[in-house]
Amino acid sequence: MSGFVLVDDGRGRRRGLFPHLAALGLVHAVTTRDGPDLGDEPSHDPAHAVPVGALAAELELDGVAWAFQVHGDAVLHAEVPGYAGPGDALWTDRPGLGVMARSADCPLVLVAGERRDGSSILGVAHASWRSTVQRITARLLAELVRAGADPSRLRAGIAPSAAPCCYEVGEEVRDRALKELGPGAAACFREREDSLYFDLWAANRAQLREAGLRDEAIVTAGLCSLCRNDLFFSYRREGAAAGRYAAAIGTVRAP
Ligand SMILES: [Zn+2]
């Protein structure tokens, strides 16, 4: 099973999919710069609901919940569609409801699976470097487990983002990571030609593994938003004018 595939959404727009998540019977998508661009309006602006609503309809969801991403550590429980408040991760167990996060370079981590009673539970994290060192993915997993998820039956997909080939950071980022995540985080940094690079994929994979996900249940898309700026918006390449791609996941309500 290929880890991450780009498909045509039927309207000539490329969409990213994780086959191992699709196999769970859920709907999900990683959008590309083919659209919709989720970056035109601030998250709390009612106008933001328009492109999100269109994405929800395409995924055959009743609606999608999203947060105002603040590079923090808050995990929100989404129970209704729409703006859920400030936070960097959302989860839900509501049939028909999806959760979404948006990005231009930051990894988005999709998690889905079953509770011990067989019902679906899922979430998404916006794992910017600041949220990653604040353990946003681990915190999302902790909430899912608290809500009854069995970690050995969860699967995760790490969407395209700035990758270790391009994600140059300052020494203060490594200092912060070592302080917050412990000495093991040193393995997520590489030095090349006097520059320092942070492997956010590895840092988030570590949080998923520590939460009890099996190695084979964690798939990294492996596409860099800077190298593949033709496909994905990149804040580092395009600056403040960069659009936003999104990762959304949900369960379709039984008719
Ligand atoms: Zn790259």
Q: How confident is the model at residue 1 (pLDDT cuts 50, 70, 90)?
A: very low
- The lowest-confidence range among 48-57, 88-97, 126-135 is 48-57
**Cβ 199 vs Cβ 190: under 8 Å:** yes
Predicted local confidence at residue 77, as pLDDT: 98
Please give all residues whose CB falls under 5 A of ion ligand 1, grouped by chain where several chains appear: 163, 165-166, 224, 226-227
pLDDT above 90 covers a percentage of the chain that reads 88
**Cβ 104 vs Cβ 235: under 8 Å:** yes
| Residue-range domains of the chain with CATH | 5-250 (3.60.140.10)
The mean pLDDT of the chain is: 95
pLDDT digits (tens, 9 = 90+) for 166-207: 999 999 999 999 999 999 999 999 999 999 999 999 999 999
Predicted local confidence at residue 41, as pLDDT: 75
Please give the Cα distance from 55 to 50 (Å, whole number): 9
pLDDT digits (tens, 9 = 90+) for 223-250: 999 999 999 999 999 998 999 999 999 9
Distance 2 CA to ligand 1 centre (A): 21
In whole angstroms, how far apart are CA 186 and each of 108, 190, 195, 235? 22, 9, 15, 25
Distance 225 CA to ligand 1 centre (A): 7
Q: Which of 183, 187, 182, 215 is nearest to 199 (CA)?
A: 187
Distance 175 CA to ligand 1 centre (A): 23
Q: What is the mean pLDDT of residues 92-108?
A: 97
More confident call, 255 vs 53: 53
Distance 54 CA to ligand 1 centre (A): 30
In whole angstroms, how far apart are CA 51 and each of 43, 45, 66, 162, 213? 11, 12, 12, 24, 33
Tell if the pTM clears 0.85, that is, is over it: yes
- 137 contacts: CB under 8 Å, gap ≥ 6: 89, 109, 111, 125, 127, 204, 207, 208, 211
- Helix, strand or coil, per DSSP, at residue 240: helix
Q: How confident is the model at residue 45 (pLDDT cuts 50, 70, 90)?
A: confident
**Cβ 164 vs Cβ 226: under 8 Å:** no
Distance 162 CA to ligand 1 centre (A): 6
